[in-house]
Amino acid sequence: MTALSQTKLKIGLVSVSDRASQGVYQDQGIPELQAWLEAALTEEFDVETRLIPDEQAEIEKTLIDLVDNRQCHLVLTTGGTGPAKRDVTPDATLAVADREMPGFGEQMRQVSLQFVPTAILSRQAGVIRKDSLILNLPGQPKAIKETLEGVKDKEGNVLVKGVFAAVPYCLQLISGIYVDTKPEVIESFRPKSARRC
């Protein structure tokens, strides 16, 4: 068993923004992430939050601390994923990764393309560091929810699956923790052999 296979899920939430970290405006990323997780997860979880500027060294240091020292199973970042010179969140994420999980970035762009053609400019990444999953999410609250939850029609039927559908099984595979979601928000997928009765 790894150090992270504890019973309670621990999540790191990182908002990357020069202006929000300087107090120019209030950060909306972390509150949106926390509210969505509280609505989606069936289990209780602990949260570590960080509001930091768009500095690659600072982002790398934060991600390393949340995984290595704070023992977060999952780290979600928001902001800094575009093509602008100050957008370095994916670069920092890849720099601290042990393995890349390209499917997460591909699916995030697929979801966002349903809403805006500029989704192809996003460089969001998903990686594994040690026994933890790190995902880069968009900066806008509406886009955060869409990316995690997916695209639904007016009746609530899922048209394009959100990335969080795969997160519980990924965490189970890499750290041994069992997490589930509320199907009315997002239905998590895992093989029958990996499900708890």
User: Residue 156: what residue type?
Assistant: G
The pLDDT value given to residue 2: 44
Quote the domain boundaries for residue 97.
9-189
The yes-or-no verdict on residue 195 having pLDDT over 50 is: yes
The pLDDT value given to residue 5: 44
pLDDT digits (tens, 9 = 90+) for 95-112: 999 999 999 999 999 999
The yes-or-no verdict on residue 3 having pLDDT over 50 is: no
pLDDT band at 197 (very low <50, low <70, confident <90, very high): low
The yes-or-no verdict on residue 33 having pLDDT over 80 is: yes
pLDDT digits (tens, 9 = 90+) for 119-147: 999 999 999 999 999 999 998 999 999 99
The yes-or-no verdict on residue 50 having pLDDT over 90 is: yes
Average pLDDT value for the chain: 92
Residue 161 CB coordination number (10 Å): 17
The answer to whether residue 2 is domain-embedded is: no
The answer to whether residue 96 is domain-embedded is: yes
Integer-rounded Cα Rg, in Å, for the chain is 16
Average pLDDT of 75-97? Answer: 96
The answer to whether residue 195 is domain-embedded is: no
User: Residue 96: what residue type?
Assistant: V
CATH number of the domain residue 79 falls in: 3.40.980.10
The pLDDT value given to residue 86: 93
The answer to whether residue 194 is domain-embedded is: no
40: closest CA among 169, 142, 161, 181?
Answer: 181
The yes-or-no verdict on residue 4 having pLDDT over 60 is: no
The model carries a pTM of 0.93
Query: What span, in angstroms and rounded, lies between the C-alpha atoms of 32 and 27?
Result: 9
**Number of domains the chain contains:** 1
Query: What span, in angstroms and rounded, lies between the C-alpha atoms of 5 and 14?
Result: 22
The answer to whether residue 129 is domain-embedded is: yes
The answer to whether residue 4 is domain-embedded is: no
φ/ψ (deg, to 5) at 25: -145, 165
The answer to whether residue 196 is domain-embedded is: no
Contacts of 65 (CB under 8 A, 6+ apart): none
The pLDDT value given to residue 196: 82
The yes-or-no verdict on residue 18 having pLDDT over 80 is: no
